[in-house]
Structure 1
Amino acid sequence: MSCGIYFGATSICLALHKDGKTDVVANDSGDRVTPAMVAYFGKDRNVGLGAKQGRIRNASNTIVNVKHIIGKNFNEPFIQKLVKESSCKIINQKNLPVYEVESNEKRIAVTPQEVLVLIFKKMYSIASSQGGLDVMDVVLTVPTNFTTEQSNTISKAASVAGFRICRIVNEASAAALAYDIGQDTSAEISNVLVYRLGGTSMSIAVLNVNCGMYRILESYEQMDCGGSHFTSSLVEACAVEFKRQWRVDVRDNKRGMAKLSNACETCKHVLSTLNTASTFVESVHEGIDFQNKVSRAKLESLIQSHLQECLQPVDKVLESAKLTHVDIHKVVLVGGSTRIPKLQQLLRAKFPEAEMLNTLAPEEVVAIGAAKQAALISGHDDIQLLDVESVQGECIPYALLVKVSNSDETSLQTAVPKNTYIPVRRQHTYTVQEDKSSVCIGVYCGEEGSTEEECILVAKLVLTDLPTDCQKEKQVTTVFHYRREGSIHITCTEVVSGKSSGVTIETGESSAFVGESSKSVSEDVNNTAATPEQ
């Protein structure tokens, strides 16, 4: 069983690829995302929804936003800001930030790594409820700016929890894969902007998709911009309204403000789908109940400045990537805060010609893409590769090039790009001239952009006795399947007549593609290609 995990600052999501399908798994509460929180209460440790529900009464022992302090030094300005704002005490331990909580009537220090292990154990139990305990292959996702040390910390925690780590990929590439960008049409070339706005942070990445490969052109992340700011604006407005009604300032009551914040967060979510919502808090201050009706227009006016702040970095990222708004073909929305209709409207105004991809739940997009990548690595599906710069594994150091005789293809065309991770499947279709009864497919090994003389012929497939009197245009579909063990299986089929030919280049013969000398391949593979399969 293969799964993908998106570990965010405020929530974590797990998707499974099983029986050819990819879907998000609901937790024991029926929710498809789980709060990334851990709470210590007496002898118990609550993870997920239980920790969130008890946060108001147990704020000093509830650990949140652990993702933000992984791999950071205690003296960094951002950590110092967290120390001042966090309800749970953060202390300095060997220049590293560590949480101090009360457990079993004792004050103990809890490292971020220990918190991660507890959260991943919770996700492992959720995955186990779907069966497949014997194999739990997982692809983890991390932000594009994560260091190797930070990625390894998350990977080790997941391993301790019981997962078998296949690969770590960046969140932007996983989000693009969730929508199969560049996978359905291998020849597709496009620029994709992945816009993520979560609970406490935002990130923007620009990807270039070429022949199914993802390359990050530019990325940006901001830690103090997220959906929590929208909630805070609504909380402040409700506090002002409470004071107007009762002549009492609830802002001096921490517990009352915590209750009001929970109610406003729920109200904000409702306003993403409905035009009006109500906030009701029982005994918010000195036994006084509070109820307030909020419209979507009211919320949008309150958060207008925050929305503009969230969109300003988009122009900077495009400028750094040397692109304009017209160059972006697709926009992928990630993160729960992108559900806000006004934000989507502003993004559409910025990219009027781009396709807005928001059919998948934004909190689940990254996990779904990671699960698809896990299926590929585990050999459970023929999904294609992910971003070259963000993954590690065996890859092809040379490109596979094709020349088709008796067609419009007069020069070498790239079939499988250099640095493609295996296993991988590529399909290309070529048009054959109507008066030709045969076609020859020549497959070469070399650098992209090289001439025929500079490349090595590794296979030649010939289709003969093709119809010349057909009314339909003749097309030859060629499939390149680079298998896990290193062998290459190439088949070509003429669509009208159904005639086909194929050849398999075995592992030893194709060793040049994974790093050995190319001289032996040109000799051995030519012998293999001389007797194609009919």
Structure 2
Amino acid sequence: MVAIGIDLGTTYSCVAVWRHGTVEVIANDQGNRTTPSYVAFTPTHRLIGESAKNQAPINPWNTIFGAKRLIGRRFEDVGVQMDLRHWPYTVINENGKPKIVVEFKGEKKIFAPEEISSMVLFRMKQVAEAYLGEQVQDAVITVPAYFNDSQRHATRAAGAIAGLNVLRIINEPTAAALAYGLDRNLKGERNILIYDLGGGTFDVSILSIGEGSVYEVKSTAGNTRLGGEDFDNRLVAYFAEDFRKRYGSDITKNIKALRRLKTASERAKRFLTSMTEASVEIESLHLGIDYYGKISRALFDELCSDLFKDTLTPVQQALEDARMTKDDINEVILVGGSTRIPKVQSLLLEFFERTLTTSINPDEAVAYGAAIQAAVLSGENHEKIKDLLLVDVVPLSLGVETARGMMFKVIEKNTAVPCRQTKDITTLEDYQRLMTIEIFEGERTLTKDNNLLGVFELKDIPPAPRGVPKIDVTFDVDANGILSVTAQDRSTGNTEGITITNDYRLNQEEIVKMIADAEAYKEEDKEQKRCLEARNQLETYVYNVKQSVIDSGEDLNDQEKTTMLQDCQDAINWMDSNTDSLREEFETKLTEALMALCV
């Protein structure tokens, strides 16, 4: 069975497959090779992709985008709180987890970010199945290199909810490196830096590509909260302030107006990639006022200058962690749609003092690489990829809390995965029988500044003075970058197998429920498709009859023509005023039309 590669993006997603010795990026039913990562809920339907994004200006409260910025995070996360200011939809705190609230079919519905992401993944699965003409189950899904353990687990859960068997979670820059290296007969070892600036996340990875198709990640750094969405928000803030100054009215409380302004701002940003000036023109934006605004590329660069410069910090961090200088880098490869911004490219040209590689499509490279990895994992034996070996790394250090809240690192960041490391710890009190072990990820000295992954207890430790018992703690990171931990009391051999239970991660019961909900939506989607087909059938028949009557010449008298044309118009008017009718109603109307309209 074929395996696909999916780039689950913050703003756009993409799917690709390995076939006939090459990668094919798959276009959706609109003919586009990328699909907006949007999900919308209307009074009658659930929409995913283009249709969801297109209706966002009139239904902003129930149109979800940017769910990737919520996935695997806590509600009180500073980044989440900052993002909430820019989203028109409602996000609530449910036991520390962010949940999305929408109105659907007259009811309030609550979704986890994983469920929204699973809907986008399901859409990409549908796109692949329509193209391949067969069912697809196996997939490789990409994530930002700087995604932490919780975010990787959540992405894997989203895949399961979408009905996919996730073969592997791989890092986006690593996937892009695979795409870069596939058709190049590279001689000797080359160091490449992947600069991946997408719609909502930013990553830098340095890889060494050796002969024999060995891709080894040397270091990774980034910011999972920096991307094109942030540049759009700066433009929205600029135009909103311009509107306030010119018309004395604040539009920031008008959610519909802001959504329309966001759409226009994104369009202007794209326009500035090739032009030095762009304009936004929005009819009746707020209080009936038509708004016309202009922005120059120079002003846009100034508005976002701090964000652009912020991307160089992870570049320098990645070089430092890889123990390299910029002179050691053979090629700088640009990935992600936001790398098209001229100022971003000029900053990198100035920093590296070398030509940038833009030969791979920045929107498709990640899905392209994921498809290569999917082919390898599914047993594809083509000569181009049969010897391919991918060596990825742990993005953040992993460890436990010791005395006085210190972070004791068991696995250092940028350690190659899969990996396994054992360190010994001991008791802090005399005759201690139970040890609470807290697991953290991060680079700070104190655990309070790092991210808590989970807590477990090792019981029945033989009583002894503090410092005497030796407990071996083993951290095991699999090829997906996902962590499991075991602990063993050396004196008794008592071993505990630990599954990290993060309070902010979905448990198995929740995942099972969400899979069941997804099946229900699948049936709704099928019914919606049947309904549209019935409407289209009725519409086609009515318009064909109308044209036949017009072309009938003397076969029909004037009275017959007038009656039939009126019947056709009545049917058209009924369709226009009953767009949300059930399939059975369209079918009944078609039967009536067949009986009444016979040319």
Question: TM-score of the superposition, structure 2-length normalised?
Answer: 0.60
- 1:338 counterpart SS class: helix
Structure 1 CA distance for aligned equivalents of residues 31 and 133 of structure 2 = 20
Q: Deviations over 1:128-157 (max 9, x none)?
A: 121241455422112223345543433343
1:93 corresponds to which letter in structure 2? E
User: Per-residue deviation at 1:103?
Assistant: 1.9
Structure 1 CA distance for aligned equivalents of residues 205 and 238 of structure 2 = 33
Structure 2 CA distance for aligned equivalents of residues 271 and 76 of structure 1 = 33
User: Per-residue deviation at 1:108?
Assistant: 2.2
Partner of 2:390: 387
Structure 2 CA distance for aligned equivalents of residues 97 and 302 of structure 1 = 30
Structure 2 CA distance for aligned equivalents of residues 240 and 420 of structure 1 = 48
Structure 2 CA distance for aligned equivalents of residues 389 and 223 of structure 1 = 18
2:388 corresponds to which letter in structure 1? L
User: Per-residue deviation at 1:326?
Assistant: 0.6
Structure 2 CA distance for aligned equivalents of residues 233 and 76 of structure 1 = 21
Q: Does 1:174 align with 2:175?
A: yes
Structure 2 CA distance for aligned equivalents of residues 80 and 294 of structure 1 = 29
Q: Does 1:323 align with 2:339?
A: no
Structure 1 CA distance for aligned equivalents of residues 178 and 25 of structure 2 = 15
| Residues 1:50 and 1:182: Cα distance change in structure 2 (over 3 Å) | closer
Asked if 2 retains the 8 angstrom alpha-carbon contact of 1:168 and 1:390, the reply is no
- 2:134 counterpart SS class: coil
| 1:58-457 mapped onto 2 (5 Å cutoff) | 58-83=59-84, 85-134=86-135, 136-180=137-181, 184-185=185-186, 188-211=188-211, 212-243=213-244, 245-251=246-252, 253-353=254-354, 355-378=355-378, 379=380, 381-382=382-383, 383=385, 384-389=387-392
Structure 2 CA distance for aligned equivalents of residues 153 and 200 of structure 1 = 17
Structure 2 CA distance for aligned equivalents of residues 375 and 102 of structure 1 = 40
Asked if 1 retains the 8 angstrom alpha-carbon contact of 2:146 and 2:223, the reply is no
Q: Deviations over 1:88-118 (max 9, x none)?
A: 2222333322222222222222122322322
Whichever structure has more strand as a proportion of its residues is: 1
| Residues 1:139 and 1:390: Cα distance change in structure 2 (over 3 Å) | farther
User: Per-residue deviation at 1:17?
Assistant: 2.1
Structure 2 CA distance for aligned equivalents of residues 9 and 201 of structure 1 = 7
Asked if 1 retains the 8 angstrom alpha-carbon contact of 2:88 and 2:259, the reply is no
- 1:388 counterpart SS class: strand
User: Per-residue deviation at 1:358?
Assistant: 1.4
Asked if 2 retains the 8 angstrom alpha-carbon contact of 1:182 and 1:209, the reply is no
- 1:74 counterpart SS class: coil
Asked if 1 retains the 8 angstrom alpha-carbon contact of 2:8 and 2:121, the reply is no
| Residues 1:60 and 1:238: Cα distance change in structure 2 (over 3 Å) | closer
User: Per-residue deviation at 1:38?
Assistant: 1.5
Structure 1 CA distance for aligned equivalents of residues 84 and 304 of structure 2 = 26
| Residues 1:129 and 1:92: Cα distance change in structure 2 (over 3 Å) | same
User: Per-residue deviation at 1:119?
Assistant: 1.4
Q: Deviations over 1:240-282 (max 9, x none)?
A: 4445554544445433232222111101111212333332111
- 2:221 counterpart SS class: strand
Structure 1 CA distance for aligned equivalents of residues 160 and 240 of structure 2 = 45
1:19 corresponds to which letter in structure 2? H
Q: Deviations over 1:221-257 (max 9, x none)?
A: 2133222232233333333444555454444543323
User: Per-residue deviation at 1:188?
Assistant: 2.5
Asked if 2 retains the 8 angstrom alpha-carbon contact of 1:170 and 1:390, the reply is no
1:385 corresponds to which letter in structure 2? L
- 1:23 counterpart SS class: strand
Structure 1 CA distance for aligned equivalents of residues 303 and 150 of structure 2 = 39
User: Per-residue deviation at 1:61?
Assistant: 2.0
2:13 corresponds to which letter in structure 1? I
Structure 1 CA distance for aligned equivalents of residues 199 and 310 of structure 2 = 15
- 1:291 counterpart SS class: strand
| Residues 1:390 and 1:136: Cα distance change in structure 2 (over 3 Å) | farther
| Residues 1:98 and 1:233: Cα distance change in structure 2 (over 3 Å) | closer
- 2:280 counterpart SS class: strand
1:388 corresponds to which letter in structure 2? V
Q: Deviations over 1:380-404 (max 9, x none)?
A: 633142422369xxxxxxxxxxxxx
User: Per-residue deviation at 1:336?
Assistant: 1.1
| 1:511-530 mapped onto 2 (5 Å cutoff) | none
- 2:58 counterpart SS class: coil
Structure 2 CA distance for aligned equivalents of residues 141 and 93 of structure 1 = 27
Structure 2 CA distance for aligned equivalents of residues 390 and 223 of structure 1 = 17
Asked if 2 retains the 8 angstrom alpha-carbon contact of 1:189 and 1:208, the reply is yes
| Residues 1:280 and 1:131: Cα distance change in structure 2 (over 3 Å) | same
User: Per-residue deviation at 1:30?
Assistant: 2.4
Runs of 4+ with >6 A deviation: none
2:120 corresponds to which letter in structure 1? I
Structure 2 CA distance for aligned equivalents of residues 226 and 336 of structure 1 = 9
Asked if 1 retains the 8 angstrom alpha-carbon contact of 2:217 and 2:391, the reply is no
Instruction: Give unmatched runs, 5+ long, in structure 1.
Output: 392-418, 422-534
1:202 corresponds to which letter in structure 2? F
Asked if 2 retains the 8 angstrom alpha-carbon contact of 1:26 and 1:32, the reply is yes
User: Per-residue deviation at 1:338?
Assistant: 0.6
2:79 corresponds to which letter in structure 1? F
Structure 1 CA distance for aligned equivalents of residues 314 and 150 of structure 2 = 27
Partner of 1:396: none
Q: Deviations over 1:47-67 (max 9, x none)?
A: 112222222332222222222
User: Per-residue deviation at 1:217?
Assistant: 2.2
Asked if 1 retains the 8 angstrom alpha-carbon contact of 2:91 and 2:98, the reply is yes
Structure 1 CA distance for aligned equivalents of residues 35 and 174 of structure 2 = 22
Asked if 1 retains the 8 angstrom alpha-carbon contact of 2:204 and 2:222, the reply is yes
Partner of 1:33: 34
User: Per-residue deviation at 1:82?
Assistant: 4.0
| Residues 1:118 and 1:232: Cα distance change in structure 2 (over 3 Å) | closer
Instruction: Give unmatched runs, 5+ long, in structure 2.
Output: 395-415, 419-599
Structure 1 CA distance for aligned equivalents of residues 381 and 79 of structure 2 = 42
Whichever structure has more helix as a proportion of its residues is: 2
Structure 1 CA distance for aligned equivalents of residues 209 and 22 of structure 2 = 24
